[in-house]
Amino acid sequence: MLMTNLESVPGRTIVRHLGLVQGSTVRAKHVGRDIMAGLKNLVGGELKGYTELLQDARQEAIDRLAQQASAVGANAVLNVRFTTSSVAQGAAEMLAYGTAVELD
Amino acid sequence: MFELGIVLILLIIGYTFGRLAEQRHYRSIIRREADYRRIPVFATRHLPKDLEPGIKTTLVMGSVVISVDYFKRFLAGLRALVGGRMKSYESLIDRARREALLRLQAQAEQEGGEMVFNVKLETSSISKGARNTVGSVEVLAYGTAVIKQRPPDRE
């Protein structure tokens, strides 16, 4: 599955346009990481636990995006965008969306 | 009285360690920015036409979560009373954004990319700190890395 956030793929033409596809996940942070982050909050700096957590979540959103894209018969997703929103205290939603297309 | 003492100790710890950490981080950012200048990053949405033949593209991203220290959060609380520039949050977000871009460049290099196009930056406050202060921010930078296979029709 080819993914890009450009609007076209250089050197290849779009044969079919298959509409918007998306993948999302909601993740909560767990207590162990929270305690570490709470300590780190005191002195400032990078919260590695949260960075990893969000990276994992984003990867899952991308995987689901790819899954949905292949389910509609696409071989590429163009113009991929990411958004993050916090839905509840201590939980974040990751959304990845893009346009599924079939390239020659 | 006892509580005031604890707050004071926290402020001192936040001030000293926070300052040290920030200085160290800025030094490392400046060093790595000079280092990664070989992978230019562009915000343009389209690839230059003369680049197009014989390249591959791949999605790359870099993200970081950074939090502000106790002392700066305290200062920001005071600043919120009178309004004006919040320097402590400006430097927090600046650090996060530059770090995210550096990680994007690092990933691009790992994948064999030579430049990155259509870079988007996204900022979100993930954990609302006590009393709805910003506390920590996440910055995500993503873009399309261009991998040159071999310059076509040129020696």
pLDDT digits (tens, 9 = 90+) for B16-54: 888 898 999 999 999 999 999 999 999 988 888 777 777
pLDDT band at B155 (very low <50, low <70, confident <90, very high): very low
DSSP state of A57: H
Note whether A31 contacts B: Cβ–Cβ < 8 A: no
- Please list the alpha-helical segments (H only) found in chain A: 31-43, 48-71
Closest-CA residue of chain B to A49: B65
Note whether A27 contacts B: Cβ–Cβ < 8 A: no
CB contact under 8 A, B21 and A80: no
Q: What is the DSSP string of B22-87?
A: HHHHHHHHHHHHHHGGGS-B---SS--GGG-TTEEEEEEEEEEEEE--HHHHHHHHHHHHH-S--H
pLDDT band at A34 (very low <50, low <70, confident <90, very high): confident
Name the CATH architecture for the domain at B2-148. Answer: 2-Layer Sandwich (3.30)
The β-bridge partners of A20 are A99
Domains identified in chain A, total number:
1
Q: Provide the CATH number for the domain around residue A63.
A: 3.30.110.70
Q: Reduce the DSSP state of residue A1 to 3 states and report it.
A: coil
Widest distance between CA atoms in chain A: 54
Segments forming the whole domain that contains residue A87: 2-103
Residue of A24, A9, A10, A30 lying closest to A75 (CA atoms): A9
pLDDT band at A58 (very low <50, low <70, confident <90, very high): very high
Which one-letter amino acid corresponds to residue A101?
V
